[in-house]
Amino acid sequence: TRTSVTVIGLGLMGRALAAAFLRAGHSTTVWNRTAGKADELVAEGARVAPTVGDAVEASPLTIICLTDYDAVRGLLGGDDADLTGATLVNLTSGTSAQAREAARWADLRGARYLDGAIMAVPPAIGTAEAVILHSGPRADFEAHEPVLGALGTVTHLGEDHGLASLYDAGGLVMMWSVLNGWLQGTALLRTAGVDAVTYAPFARQLAAGVADWLPGYAEQIDRNSYPAEVSALETDVRAMEHLIEESEAAGINTDLPKLLKATADRAIAAGHGGDQYPVLITQFTTPTP
């Protein structure tokens, strides 16, 4: 069914969001500080609202996608802003604290509020590949899910407005850690004349294998019990020493191998050498020494 939706913020991401709504047949109103960025969308059928207030009033659902939360607050969070009856879905990237704070001021100004995080690049928006996380009142998510679904694979994580940002951060640290491990391995193999393309399939299979360990390891963490079923931490640390040695001998960077070993060494010093790897959670749930 044809529904109306508003998009505020027409940067690279905002334009992709508005275009996906238009493709899905939704009547789309847009607003951007720099008006010219709406031109292409207007040619595709979007309507430009003259002011931010008009843009919010034009549709039951307003998507916001700006640089940061300061910009969002500056635009919509002023004391004079009346957002009564609006539902805001803020897909701007930020922290969980910023998300919870935005939920508070939106509530004071009469709006319903969902926070969101986009785990995709603009060209993927509108395909199932684009993962878009939401958190906040479930009823508000469900009321607008059919429209939000035009953007990609949309999920609701829970009532706490901070959850989308936290899952986003959790996803990014996984992504960068896997990539850095792969880059370290690639640097090592290149010193023996193995090129990146040759090593990549091996690395890919290994990463997938490690991913399969997560559910079992997660159970150990939730039980706070780490019996060494397949390997003890001190065995891992010996392999970490070899990794540092190989990296030094190859004349490549040793930051990552040393970081891995420093974390494991602290857990061993705390008496966890005979436990299994996920006991390192004790090093991640406490501040950096």
**Contact residues for ligand NDP, defined by CB under 6 A:** 9-14, 32-34, 37, 65-67, 71, 74-75, 92-93, 118, 121-122
Q: Which is nearer to ligand NDP, 10 or 188 (CB)?
A: 10
Tokens at 7, concatenated = 């998009």
Which residue number, 52 or 280, has a Cβ lying nearer to ligand NDP? 52
Structure tokens at 76: 């919509």
Taking the complex as a whole, the smallest distance from the CB of residue 121 to ligand NDP amounts, in Å, to 4
Q: Which amino acid makes up residue 176?
A: W
- Other CB atoms closer than 10 Å to residue 169's CB: what's the count? 14
Nearer to ligand NDP, 68 or 248 (CB): 68
Cα dist from 55 to 4, 234, 259, whole Å:
11, 60, 49
Task: Write the CB contacts of 139 (distance below 8 Å, at least 6 apart in sequence).
Answer: none
Place of tokens 């010193």: 191
Q: What minimum distance in Å lies between the beta carbon of 5 and ligand NDP?
A: 17
Using CB positions, name the residue nearest to ligand NDP: 11
Closer of 5 and 189 to ligand NDP (Cβ) = 5
Q: Give the residue from 266, 271, 268, 269 showing the smallest Cα distance to 286.
A: 266
How far from the centroid of its chain's Cα atoms is residue 48's Cα? 30
| 127 vs 198 by CB, closer to ligand NDP | 127
Cα–Cα distance measured from residue 18 to residue 192, given in angstroms and rounded to the nearest whole number: 49
Closer Cβ to ligand NDP, 9 or 136, answer by number: 9
Closest separation in Å from C-beta 133 to ligand NDP: 11
128 near 148, Cβ under 8 Å? no
Q: What's the closest the beta carbon of residue 95 comes to ligand NDP, in angstroms?
A: 12
Residues 135, 99 contacting (CB under 8 angstroms): yes
Strand locations in the chain, DSSP E? 4-8, 27-31, 47-48, 61-64, 87-90, 112-119, 131-135, 153-156
- Minimum CB separation of residue 54 from ligand NDP in Å reads 15
Shortest separation between residue 23's beta carbon and ligand NDP, angstroms: 18
